[in-house]
Amino acid sequence: MLAINDVPEGYDYGQDVQFEIQEHRLRDYQEAVNFLRFNGFDMLCLQHEFRIYGGRSGSHILAILREVDLPVVTTLHTILEEPSIDQRRVMDEIVRQSERLVVMTERGRTILREVHSAPAAKIDLIAHGIPETPFVDPSSLKDQFGVEGKKVLLTFGLLSPGKGIEYVIQALPEITRTHPEVMYTCSVRPTLTSCARRVSVTG
């Protein structure tokens, strides 16, 4: 499993992550090709989101896609209706280099076809969300995660500017002074492959 680091010291991923790439270091992407080539992988599952990969509009990821001799399945988390010139160039090449493209909405499928001329046969829809299931009292599950008796605030997704996460963190000391049972958990979305970190912040 490969992961992208956005800080020089990296993260404590555990044993699942076998190769780490510094976000803005092109050489790391190039070296990742050899790692993939010589370690017996059957395919590359790429998680694509803007602002994860280095280079203009994330173009460093193309250094892997152009050279890797594996089928590529790309999950697209954001598909822009009006991409910039660089964003269009990068996405167009991701479309060309991928065997399959996974989108989460019908609108995403339409944009891929109309804006990036993606062949319909390449596109698979896996709806964003979860199946409808019977209600389960969350209190019965909290002890599994060490948050029994807590009121849990949860953020899930890519840590990026504009989401307002910093405001929640700034407000937590005041919140927990009057509501000490509150806990804020941020579950960080994967980058190159399905590797996740969980960060808990309490006041």
201: its two tokens: 């912040």
Amino acid present at 101: L
C-alpha atoms less than 13 angstroms from C-alpha of 111 in its C-beta half-sphere: 18
> Could you report the per-residue pLDDT of 58-114, keeping only the tens digit for each?
999 999 999 999 999 999 999 999 999 999 999 999 999 999 999 999 999 999 999
Pick the more confident residue, 61 or 161.
Answer: 61
CA distance 79 to 122: 15
pLDDT of residue 131: 72
> What DSSP element (H or E) covers 145?
none
Domain boundaries, the chain: 2-125, 139-201
Q: Is the pLDDT of residue 44 over 50?
A: yes
Q: Is the pLDDT of residue 203 over 70?
A: no
pLDDT of residue 163: 77
CA distance 18 to 11: 12
pLDDT of residue 139: 78
CA distance 138 to 144: 11
pTM for the model: 0.68
